[in-house]
Amino acid sequence: MPDLWDAKLNAWILNWDFHQTFHDPLHLFDANIFFPATYALAFSENLYGASLFGFPLYAAGASALFVYNVLFLLGMWLSAMAAWALAREITGDGMTALVAGVVYAFVPWRLAQLPHIQFQWGAFLALALLFLLRYLRSASRRDAALFSVFFAWNALCNVHYALFSGLLVAAVVGHETLALGWRALRGRVLGAAIAVAAAGVVVLPFYVPYQRAAELYGMRRFMSEIEFFSGRPIDFLTAGPQNKLYAPLTQQWAHPEGDFFPGIAALALAAAAIVMLRAKKPARAERPAPGEGRILRRVLDDLVGALLLLWLVATLQPGLKLGPLSVGDPGRVLVFATVPLLVRLALAFPRWSRFANLPDYLRRRYTDRQASLLVLVLALGVVVALGMHTPYWRFLAGSFGAVFRSIRVPSRGIVMFDLALGVLAAWGLSLATRGLSPSGKAGAVAAALAVIGFEYRAFPIDIGDVDPDPPAVYKWLGAAKFTGAIVHWPFAFDPDVEYTFRSTAHWKPILNGYSGFGPPLYHDLSDLLHERPIPPTAWDRMEEMEASVLVFHPEMLGQPSEGLPWLAALREGVQSGRIVPLGAFPAGRSPDIAFRLSRTAPFPTGIPEKSPGSAGAEALRRLKGLDAVLHPPLGWLDVPREGEAVAVGSTGFGWAMDDSGILEVRVAADGIPAGTARYGFPHPTATAAHPEYPDSPKPGFFFSVPRLAPGPHRLVFTFVARDGGTTSLPRGIVVR
C-alpha cells in the first residue's frame, strides 16, 4: 500500500461496503469498529460508489488488499478516461484529448493524494460535467439521465467531490444562462434541476447518517482546522513529495494538502488555448438608450461603491461598529458587494467597453463560448482551493456551516482547476497542430505526452509491504462462536489501524477503531488504558462496552518496554479472575494471546488441545514468557569506543542489567564465539541511573580483546538474562 494508515482504513471501508450490503444493508453505517457506537462508518468517507466496482472481486474471494489496489488503479484509469471524453467532446479532437486525461489523472496534486483512494476517483465529476454540457446543448433526455447518474455516483465516491460538483453545476448553469438567455435555456435549466433532485433522492440515505452522527456525537469541524487545510497562493509553486523533477525545488514551500503546481507544459498549452481562442477585436456592441435603466444602474453603482468603501474601512479598522451593528469579518462585506456588482455587469458594462454587458462578453469574448466556461471553472477551482483564505469560503462556512464545514480540506477543490486545465491544455495542443499531417500531429501529441510524463513522473513511489493473509488470531476470531465484542491491546493509534484493517477477516464488533472521528466512549476507554499503571476499573469499563474477548498483540508494541504496563495489567487480570487465558497464536517473534473476559459465558474456542485446558495453560505460559521479550536486558560498553584502535589482550569494560538478573555476557568476534566476560563488578554510574534493577549494585563486566589479526573487526556482546531474554550490542574496533 502507498500508505499504512488511511490506505488500510479505506481498504476496510471498501470491504465493509460489500460485506454489509449482502448481510444487513439497512445498517450499512453501523460498522463493526468503535463498538458500541452507532453510525461508525459516518466517521469517514463511505466510498460506496467506488466499492461497487470491487463487488465481483470480493465475491470471487479476492483479499481486501488485492481489491484495494485494483480499485486504486482503476480510479486513476477511469479519471483519465473521463477527462479524455470531456476534452474530446469540447475540442472535437480525440487525439489531443489524451493530454487532458494525463493531466487530470496524474497531476502532482493527485499523486500527492496517494493515501486517499477517494481522490483518485474523479471520473464521475468529469462525466457529470460532460453530460450536463451535452444536455444544456441538446436537451436530450438520455444526456439528462446520464448527468443525473454520474452526479449521484460522484457523490457516492467522495463527500468532498459531492460538494464541489454542486458548486460546479451551479457555475456552469449560471454561465450558460447568462450567455444564452433565460428564455432560451429555462426548460433545460429546469431539467438539470430535476436531474440533480433525482440524484439527491438516491444519495440522501448515504448522507443522512452523517447528520445523525454529527448530532449524536457533537462531530464538527472547527474554523481553525478548515483554515489550516485551505490552500495558499504559494501552494501553486509546490509539486508534492512524490514528484521526482520538482519536489527537490519546491518542497521548501510545502504545506499539508497543498502541492497545486500542475507542471509547465500543461500551463503553457492551456495559456496558448486561451490566447488563440480569444476574439481578435470584437465589434463594439450597440448600447441601450442613455436613459434606459439608468436609475437602476446608478443605484447599483452607489451600492457597490458604498460596500467597497465600508470593506476598506473595516479592513483598516478591525472591529468596526456602525451604531449597534458590528461589521465583523470585512470579507463578508466584500461578498455582499459581489452580488450587486454582478447584477450591474449583467445589465451593462462601462461605456468604454466593447461589450454591452456580461452576457454579451460571454458570447463574444472567445471564438468558442466553452472557452469562457473553462476559464470560469479554473477560477472556481482556485477560489475553492484557497478556502478560508478567501472571503467567499469564509462566508459560506460561517453562513451555511452544516454543509460547508463538513469539508475539512477545501484545498481539494483544486480538482476542478486541474480538470479545466487539462481540457484547455488539450485544446491548446489541438489548435497548435491544426495544419499538421496526421503523422505530424501524432508525433506532436506523443511529444507533448512525453514532456508532461517527464514532468509528472513520480515512480517508483514509496510503498509499505502488507501481507494479504491476516495473522492466525484473526482467522480464529472469524471461526470462534461468541457474542459480544473484541478488544485489542495495545489500545493505541497505530495498532488500531491494523486491527481495523484485519477485522475484514472476521467482521465481529471491536472496541478499537481508526477514522476521521472517534466517539466519546472510545476516547474515554483509551484515556483509562493509558493511565500508568492501568487501573482495575478498566475491566469494568470494557465489560460495560460488551467486550467478550481480549487479544494481546506484543508485536504491535512500538518499543518492547512499552509492553510492561499492558503485561502487568494482564497478569493482574488473570490473578484476580477478570480474564481467562484461551490460547496463543503465532505472530512473528511473540505470539498473540487471547483471553475471555470472565463475565462472558464460556464458549467452544475451537483451539486444538492435547488435554482439557491445555490451550489456556499454554497461553498463560506464553504470557509469562513475554517478560524476556518485552523487558530485555539493557547495557552499554564503555571501552573500547566505536572504531577505536586497541591492542590484543587489552581490557574493555561495560555494564548490563535485567529485571530477572544477568546470567552471563557473551563475546563474539567477527561472528565467532570468543568466550564470556567477567560479570559482577561495581559500576557507580549505571547503579545511580537504574537503582530499581536487582543486579544494580554490581552490573559491571570486564573482558580482554581476543587474539585477532591487525585491522578492523566487529565485536558483538550478548547480554543473557536469567529469564531467557537477550540483547546484542555490536562494536567496531581496529586491532593494532
DSSP string, 357-408: SHHHHHHHSBSSHHHHHHHHHHHHHHHHHHGGGSHHHHHHHHHSHHHHTT-S
pLDDT tier at 291, thresholds 50, 70, 90: low
Question: Of 507, 562, 555, 510, whose CA–CA distance to 534 is shortest?
Answer: 562
Alpha-carbon Rg for the chain, nearest whole angstrom, is 33
* pLDDT at site 289: 66
* pLDDT at site 445: 98
* pLDDT at site 175: 97
Instruction: Find residue 551's DSSP bridge partners.
Output: 488, 594
Task: Select the more confidently predicted residue: 28 or 218.
Answer: 28
| pLDDT one-digit tens code per residue, 85-118 | 999 999 999 999 999 999 999 999 999 999 999 9
pLDDT at 58 over 80: yes
* pLDDT at site 290: 66
Count CB neighbours of 296 within 10 A. 13
CA distances 358 to 185, 367, 374, Å, are: 17, 16, 16
- Amino acid occupying residue 53: F
* pLDDT at site 660: 87
pLDDT at 652 over 90: yes
Instruction: Find residue 45's DSSP bridge partners.
Output: none
Report how far residue 163's alpha carbon sits from residue 145's, in angstroms, rounded to the nearest whole number. Answer: 20
Report how far residue 441's alpha carbon sits from residue 426's, in angstroms, rounded to the nearest whole number. Answer: 13
Instruction: Find residue 727's DSSP bridge partners.
Output: 719
Cell of 242: 512524490
Q: Quote the DSSP letter at residue 229.
A: T
Burial class (CB in 10 A: 0-12, 13-18, 19+), 376: middle
| pLDDT one-digit tens code per residue, 304-353 | 999 999 999 999 988 888 877 778 889 999 999 999 999 999 999 998 89
pLDDT at 12 over 70: yes
- What would the mean pLDDT of 230-247 be, rounded to a whole number? 95
Report the mean per-residue pLDDT for the chain.
94
Contact indicator for 396, 406 with CB cutoff of 8 Å: no
| pLDDT one-digit tens code per residue, 178-196 | 999 999 999 999 999 999 9
Burial class (CB in 10 A: 0-12, 13-18, 19+), 274: middle
Report how far residue 502's alpha carbon sits from residue 516's, in angstroms, rounded to the nearest whole number. Answer: 18
pLDDT tier at 563, thresholds 50, 70, 90: confident
Helix, strand, coil abundance in the chain, percent, nearest 5? 55, 10, 30
Residue whose grid cell is 471461526:
479
* pLDDT at site 264: 98
Which region, left, alpha or beta, applies to residue 173 given φ > 0 means left and ψ of -120 to 50 means alpha? alpha
Report how far residue 207's alpha carbon sits from residue 239's, in angstroms, rounded to the nearest whole number. Answer: 33
- What would the mean pLDDT of 516-535 be, rounded to a whole number? 95
Contact indicator for 385, 409 with CB cutoff of 8 Å: no
Cell of 273: 488555448
- Amino acid occupying residue 406: S
Of 1-15, 281-295, 637-651, 710-724, give the lowest mean pLDDT range: 281-295
| pLDDT one-digit tens code per residue, 334-348 | 999 999 999 999 999
> Which residues have CB under 8 Å from 626's CB, separation 6+?
554, 563, 567, 590
Report how far residue 48's alpha carbon sits from residue 158's, in angstroms, rounded to the nearest whole number. Answer: 9
Count CB neighbours of 4 within 10 A. 16
pLDDT at 514 over 80: yes
- What would the mean pLDDT of 216-229 be, rounded to a whole number? 92
* pLDDT at site 319: 83
Per DSSP bridges, beta strands 485-489 and 547-552 are parallel
* pLDDT at site 647: 95
- What would the mean pLDDT of 512-523 be, rounded to a whole number? 95
Report how far residue 520's alpha carbon sits from residue 534's, in angstroms, rounded to the nearest whole number. Answer: 19
Residue whose grid cell is 544477568:
662
Q: Quote the DSSP letter at residue 92.
A: S
> Which residues have CB under 8 Å from 717's CB, separation 6+?
635, 637, 654, 665, 666, 667, 677, 728, 729, 730, 731
Question: Of 221, 263, 262, 252, whose CA–CA distance to 387 is shortest?
Answer: 221
| pLDDT one-digit tens code per residue, 146-182 | 999 999 999 999 999 999 999 999 999 999 999 999 9
| pLDDT one-digit tens code per residue, 402-429 | 899 989 999 999 999 999 999 999 999 9
pTM: 0.89
Q: Taking every pair of C-alpha atoms in the chain, what is the biggest distance, in angstroms?
A: 111
Q: Report percent pLDDT > 90 for the chain.
A: 87
Sheet with 547-552: list strands edge to edge. 485-489, 547-552, 592-597, 579-585
* pLDDT at site 196: 98
* pLDDT at site 112: 93
pLDDT tier at 530, thresholds 50, 70, 90: very high
Report how far residue 369's alpha carbon sits from residue 157's, in angstroms, rounded to the nearest whole number. Answer: 31
| pLDDT one-digit tens code per residue, 450-503 | 999 999 999 888 889 999 999 999 999 999 999 999 999 999 999 999 999 999
pLDDT at 288 over 70: no
Report how far residue 668's alpha carbon sits from residue 706's, in angstroms, rounded to the nearest whole number. Answer: 9
- What would the mean pLDDT of 626-635 be, rounded to a whole number? 84
pLDDT at 723 over 90: no
pLDDT at 294 over 80: yes
Handedness of CA 398, 399, 401, 403 (dihedral sign): negative
- Amino acid occupying residue 314: A
pLDDT at 120 over 80: yes
* Residue 220 CA to its chain's centroid (Å): 18
Burial track 94-104 (b if 16+ CB lie within 10 A, e otherwise): ebbbbbbbbbb
